């Protein structure tokens, strides 16, 4: 990660007591995975990945979005992350009962303020939070956390 001009540590925390979360899709406007997330996030688990600008790229950042799903529910989780070459950090987190492309989270990223939202799905009520925090392995970290509400 140290040879990359832009890097982010992305951590997803599943604090739900009984439900798994599944990684469905990724969209990168710039950059790529450095270390991918696991495809399944068991209950009460932490899943850490890293993203960075592409090797050999010049004057690019790392920006994109993810779509995840909750086991046994129609609820989707949309996440966005932005560390452009020029400009500030931005991220996004939303629970939605609609199937949208992974790019949705990227498109909706607007600032780096902490985010909290509640939503009801077909089999539960959920709380989703997102924060920015320092990282020891990348230039910055975004932490996304879901729990039962």
What is the per-residue pLDDT across 118-147, written as a single tens digit (0 to 9) for each?
A: 999 999 999 999 999 999 999 999 999 999
Distances, alpha carbon 146 to alpha carbons 2, 39, 143, in Å: 30, 16, 10
| Angle in degrees, CA 125, 93, 43, rounded to 5 | 50
pTM of the entire predicted model: 0.95
Q: For all residues of the chain together, what is the average pLDDT?
A: 95
* Number of residues that this document lists for the chain: 149
């Amino acid at each position: 990660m140290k040879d990359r001009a832009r890097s982010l540590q992305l951590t997803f925390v599943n604090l739900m007591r009984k439900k798994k979360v599944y990684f469905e899709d990724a969209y990168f406007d710039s950059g790529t995975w450095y270390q991918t997330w696991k495809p399944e996030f068991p209950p009460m688990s932490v899943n850490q990945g890293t993203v960075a600008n592409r090797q050999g790229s010049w004057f690019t950042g790392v920006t994109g979005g993810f779509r995840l799903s909750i086991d046994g529910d129609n609820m989707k989780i949309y996440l966005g992350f932005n560390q452009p070459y020029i400009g500030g950090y931005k991220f996004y987190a939303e629970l939605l009962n609609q199937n949208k492309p992974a790019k949705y989270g990227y498109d909706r990223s607007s600032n780096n303020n902490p985010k909290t939202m509640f939503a009801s799905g077909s089999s539960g009520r959920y709380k989703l939070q997102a924060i920015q925090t320092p990282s020891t392995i990348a230039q910055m970290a975004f932490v996304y956390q879901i729990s039962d509400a």
